Amino acid sequence: MSTAVQNETAGPRHDLKPILSARGLIKTYGRVVGLDGVDLDLYPGEVLAIIGDNGAGKSTLVKALTGAVIPDSGEVTLDGHPVNFKSPQDARAAGIETVYQTLAVAPALDISANMFLGRERRRPGVLGSVFRMLDKKGMKADAGQSMANLGIATVQNMDQAVETLSGGQRQAVAVARAATFASKFVVLDEPTAALGVKETGQVLNLIRQIKARGLPVILISHNMPNVFEVADRIHIARLGGCAGIITPQSHTPTEAVAIMTGATTLERG
């Protein structure tokens, strides 16, 4: 069901052209500058982390890439083609899935209903076309398969209402849904902010699984150890701009925080 290509050499491919390129993104809210001419590239197979203080413009940046915010100016290309998303639905249709920090699941629905929320499949033939009957069995089987593919073994029963799951499992459902339907890349905005240590570990594993399947991930996170564990590159947002791009090899978490807060300035090459 996912169109993600199995990638034998899963990992960042900076020799390839970026999947996503943004140039000069500007977004102001009255006098507040949300984005101050930001550039961003996302390469095939990489986890790109975005870190930054509260209000640095992290969420505005990913919203501008995913149709939730329309930038005042700037350009975004997807696979080399200019895109102008007017809504998150436009971005989803183009293969971009976003999981927001505010939990993006419907608690009373079961897992497979959540997976297919807004994309429900009808049964084949007249049962579907005339009687509008849902293909619940097929969706359940596929939801179970996606969860299994992503290594989510802790959820036994696809009929279980999402409200009965732990926070980590719920977040896993939201991430699994994104991973299942994304064909270009997945965006996770603070996916572990509300989670405990063990649940955070599960979500990090999911991120690795998504990457292993060849799908790039943009991860916004405040958690330096997490970021340094999974990211290939780290985009440091600061005051609506970008204070630099580092890697876990080039800098320490302490140095990253110093750049983030402005205590250190990164030499730009």
Ligand X SMILES: Nc1ncnc2c1ncn2[C@@H]1O[C@H](COP(=O)(O)OP(=O)(O)O)[C@@H](O)[C@H]1O
Residue ranges binding ligand X (CB under 6 A): 29, 32, 34, 52, 54-60, 237
Which of 70, 23, 39 minimizes the C-alpha distance to 236? 39
**C-beta of residue 156 within 8 angstroms of C-beta of residue 68:** no
Contacts of 230 (CB under 8 A, 6+ apart): 47, 49, 204, 207, 208, 211, 219
**C-beta of residue 139 within 8 angstroms of C-beta of residue 112:** yes
- Please report how close the Cβ of residue 220 comes to Mg ion at its closest, in angstroms: 6
**Cβ closest to Mg ion, residue 59 vs residue 202:** 59
> Rule CB under 5 A: which residues touch Mg ion?
58-59
**Count of C-beta atoms within a 10 Å radius of residue 14:** 14
**Cβ closest to ligand X, residue 56 vs residue 243:** 56
Amino acid at 110: D
Partner that binds at residue 216, options Mg ion, ligand X, none, CB closer than 5 to 8 Å by kind: none
- Please report how close the Cβ of residue 50 comes to ligand X at its closest, in angstroms: 8
Partner that binds at residue 78, options Mg ion, ligand X, none, CB closer than 5 to 8 Å by kind: none
Partner that binds at residue 34, options ligand X, Mg ion, none, CB closer than 5 to 8 Å by kind: ligand X
Query: Which position's Cβ is nearest Mg ion?
Result: 59
**Cβ closest to ligand X, residue 161 vs residue 258:** 258
**Cβ closest to ligand X, residue 174 vs residue 220:** 220
**Cβ closest to ligand X, residue 180 vs residue 226:** 226
Can you tell me the distance from the alpha carbon of 160 to that of 112, in angstroms, rounded to the nearest whole number? 9
Partner that binds at residue 191, options Mg ion, ligand X, none, CB closer than 5 to 8 Å by kind: none
Which of 118, 120, 199 minimizes the C-alpha distance to 154? 199
